[in-house]
Structure 1
Amino acid sequence: MQDEELKEIVENLRLLGSDVSDVEVKKATGGLPRSARETLVAFANTRGGTLILGLDEGAGFTASGLADPAKMSSDLAAMCAADIEPPLRPHIGIHDFEGTKILVAEIPELPPDRKPCFSRGAGMTQGTFVRVGDGDRRLTSYEVQLLLANRGQPRDDETPVPGTGLTDFDPGLVTAFLARLRTRRPYAFGELDDVAALRRAKALVTDDAGADVASVGGLLALGRYPQEHFPQVMLTFVHYPTPEGANAETGERFVDNVVAEGPIPVIVRDALLTVRKNMTRRSVVRGAGRVDIWQYPEAALREAIVNALVHRDLSPEARGTQVQVEMYPDRLTVRNPGGLFGPVTEERLGEEGVSSARNASLLRILEDVPLPGSAHAVCENRGSGIRTMINALRAARMSLPEFKNRVSTFSVTFPNHTLLGDETVEWLNSLGERGLSESQCIGLAILREGGHLDNQTYRTETRVDSRVATQELRDLIARELVVQIGNRRWARYRLAPALMPASGTVVNRGPRRADRRREILNALAAGERSRTELAKITGLTDQTVAHWLRILRNEGLVEATEEKVRNPATRYRRTGKIALGEEG
Structure 2
Amino acid sequence: MSILDESLENAIQRLRKQKTDDADYEAKACRSRISSDVWDSVSAFANTSGGTLLLGIDETNSFSVVPEFNVNKVRDQFIEGIGDGGATGAKLSLPPEYSLERTSLDGKQFLAIRIHENSADKKPCYVTAKGVEGGSYKRVDDKDIRLSAAEIYEYQNALRPSTADLELVKDADLTDLDDNIIKNILARRKDSKALRGTSNNQERLSRLNITNKQEAVRMTGILVAGKYPQQFFPRLIIDVAVHPGVQKAQPGMPRFLDRAECDGPMAEMVNDAVNAVARNLRTYSIVEGTGRRDELEIPREVLREAIANAVIHREYHPYFQGQPVSVDVFPDRVTVTSPGGLWGGKTLLNIGDGESKCRNTALIQLMQAAPLSGSSNVTVEGQGTGIMFMIREMEARALSRPDFEANPDQFKVTLWRSGIEISSNRRWLHEHAGRELSRQEDAILLVAKENNLVSVPEIRQQLGYDSDDIRAVANKLVSDGLLISVGKDTFAIADENDQRLGNGEDIAVSQPIVMEDKDLLELIPENGAITTRELAKRTGKSVETIRRMIRRLSQNGDIVSIGKQQSRQRKYTRAQQSN
TM-score, structure 1 as length reference = 0.68
Residue 188, structure 1, aligned to residue 194, structure 2: yes
8 Å CA contact retained: 1:234, 1:267: yes
AA at the equivalent of 2:231: E
AA at the equivalent of 2:204: A
Residue 222, structure 1, aligned to residue 241, structure 2: no
Q: Equivalences for 1:309-388 in 2 at 5 Å?
A: 309-353=311-355, 355-388=356-389
- CA 1:22 to 1:198, structure 2 compared with 1: closer, same or farther past 3 Å? farther
- CA 1:118 to 1:162, structure 2 compared with 1: closer, same or farther past 3 Å? same
Gaps in structure 1 of 5+ consecutive residues: 434-442, 451-500, 512-584
Show the counterpart of 1:481.
none
Aligned equivalents of 1:97, 1:253: Cα separation in 2: 51
3-state DSSP of counterpart to 1:325: strand
- CA 1:12 to 1:429, structure 2 compared with 1: closer, same or farther past 3 Å? farther
Show the counterpart of 1:67.
69
Paired residues, what number? 444
Deviation string 1:415-447 (CA, Å, 9 cap, x unpaired) is 2232466665444324558xxxxxxxxx76769
Show the counterpart of 1:231.
234
- CA 1:96 to 1:152, structure 2 compared with 1: closer, same or farther past 3 Å? same
AA at the equivalent of 1:227: Q
AA at the equivalent of 1:47: S
AA at the equivalent of 1:253: R
Aligned equivalents of 1:285, 1:419: Cα separation in 2: 17
Show the counterpart of 1:293.
295
Deviation string 1:461-517 (CA, Å, 9 cap, x unpaired) is xxxxxxxxxxxxxxxxxxxxxxxxxxxxxxxxxxxxxxxx98698627369xxxxxx
AA at the equivalent of 1:389: M
Q: Equivalences for 1:29-44 in 2 at 5 Å?
A: 29=31, 31-44=33-46
Deviation string 1:275-312 (CA, Å, 9 cap, x unpaired) is 1222222468999x997531321111111111111111
- CA 1:234 to 1:345, structure 2 compared with 1: closer, same or farther past 3 Å? same
8 Å CA contact retained: 2:441, 2:474: no
Q: Which shows bigger deviation, 414-423 or 145-154?
A: 414-423
Deviation string 1:60-111 (CA, Å, 9 cap, x unpaired) is 6555587222211111122223221134453333235553322232323323
Aligned equivalents of 1:313, 1:71: Cα separation in 2: 46
Q: Which shows bigger deviation, 357-366 or 64-73?
A: 64-73
Show the counterpart of 1:469.
none
Q: Which shows bigger deviation, 368-377 or 219-228?
A: 368-377
8 Å CA contact retained: 2:159, 2:345: no
Show the counterpart of 1:242.
245
Instruction: Identify which of 89, 95, 115 aligns with 2:123.
Output: 115
8 Å CA contact retained: 1:10, 1:61: no
Alpha-carbon offset, residue 156 of structure 1: 0.6
3-state DSSP of counterpart to 1:273: helix
Please provide the CA RMSD for this pair.
3.5
Show the counterpart of 2:262.
260
Q: Which shows bigger deviation, 188-197 or 379-388?
A: 188-197
Q: Equivalences for 1:198-217 in 2 at 5 Å?
A: 198-205=205-212, 211-217=214-220
3-state DSSP of counterpart to 1:412: strand
Alpha-carbon offset, residue 201 of structure 1: 2.4
3-state DSSP of counterpart to 2:305: helix
8 Å CA contact retained: 1:131, 1:137: yes
Q: Which shows bigger deviation, 381-390 or 132-141?
A: 132-141
3-state DSSP of counterpart to 1:179: helix
Aligned equivalents of 1:256, 1:312: Cα separation in 2: 24
- CA 1:407 to 1:7, structure 2 compared with 1: closer, same or farther past 3 Å? closer
- CA 1:10 to 1:359, structure 2 compared with 1: closer, same or farther past 3 Å? farther
Q: Which shows bigger deviation, 46-55 or 72-81?
A: 46-55
Aligned equivalents of 1:397, 1:373: Cα separation in 2: 32
Instruction: Identify which of 49, 52, 55 aligns with 1:53.
Output: 55
3-state DSSP of counterpart to 1:131: strand
Aligned equivalents of 1:384, 1:84: Cα separation in 2: 39
- CA 1:368 to 1:13, structure 2 compared with 1: closer, same or farther past 3 Å? farther
Aligned equivalents of 2:481, 2:474: Cα separation in 1: 18
8 Å CA contact retained: 1:43, 1:49: yes
- CA 1:179 to 1:313, structure 2 compared with 1: closer, same or farther past 3 Å? same
8 Å CA contact retained: 1:80, 1:89: no
TM-score, structure 2 as length reference = 0.68
8 Å CA contact retained: 1:29, 1:54: yes
Show the counterpart of 1:516.
none
Gaps in structure 2 of 5+ consecutive residues: 84-89, 444-470, 483-579
3-state DSSP of counterpart to 1:204: coil
Alpha-carbon offset, residue 168 of structure 1: 2.1
Alpha-carbon offset, residue 384 of structure 1: 0.7
Show the counterpart of 2:396.
395
Alpha-carbon offset, residue 158 of structure 1: 0.7
3-state DSSP of counterpart to 1:507: helix
Aligned equivalents of 2:372, 2:2: Cα separation in 1: 56
8 Å CA contact retained: 1:143, 1:408: yes
8 Å CA contact retained: 1:66, 1:102: no
Deviation string 1:355-382 (CA, Å, 9 cap, x unpaired) is 4212111111111211222222211111
AA at the equivalent of 2:406: N
8 Å CA contact retained: 2:32, 2:73: no
Residue 507, structure 1, aligned to residue 477, structure 2: yes
AA at the equivalent of 1:199: S
Q: Equivalences for 1:145-164 in 2 at 5 Å?
A: 145-164=153-172
The structure whose Rg is larger is 2
Residue 411, structure 1, aligned to residue 412, structure 2: yes
Deviation string 1:299-349 (CA, Å, 9 cap, x unpaired) is 111111111111111111211111121212222221222121121112333
8 Å CA contact retained: 1:285, 1:421: no
Deviation string 1:377-420 (CA, Å, 9 cap, x unpaired) is 21111111111112222233333333222222222222223246
3-state DSSP of counterpart to 2:129: coil
Between the two proteins, what is the percent identity of the paired residues?
A: 29
Deviation string 1:191-248 (CA, Å, 9 cap, x unpaired) is 3243323222222125xxxx32111122111111111111111112122222234464
8 Å CA contact retained: 1:233, 1:321: yes
Show the counterpart of 1:169.
177
Aligned equivalents of 2:268, 2:145: Cα separation in 1: 38
AA at the equivalent of 1:256: D
Aligned equivalents of 1:132, 1:97: Cα separation in 2: 27
Alpha-carbon offset, residue 169 of structure 1: 1.8
Aligned equivalents of 1:231, 1:295: Cα separation in 2: 32
AA at the equivalent of 2:52: T
AA at the equivalent of 2:160: G
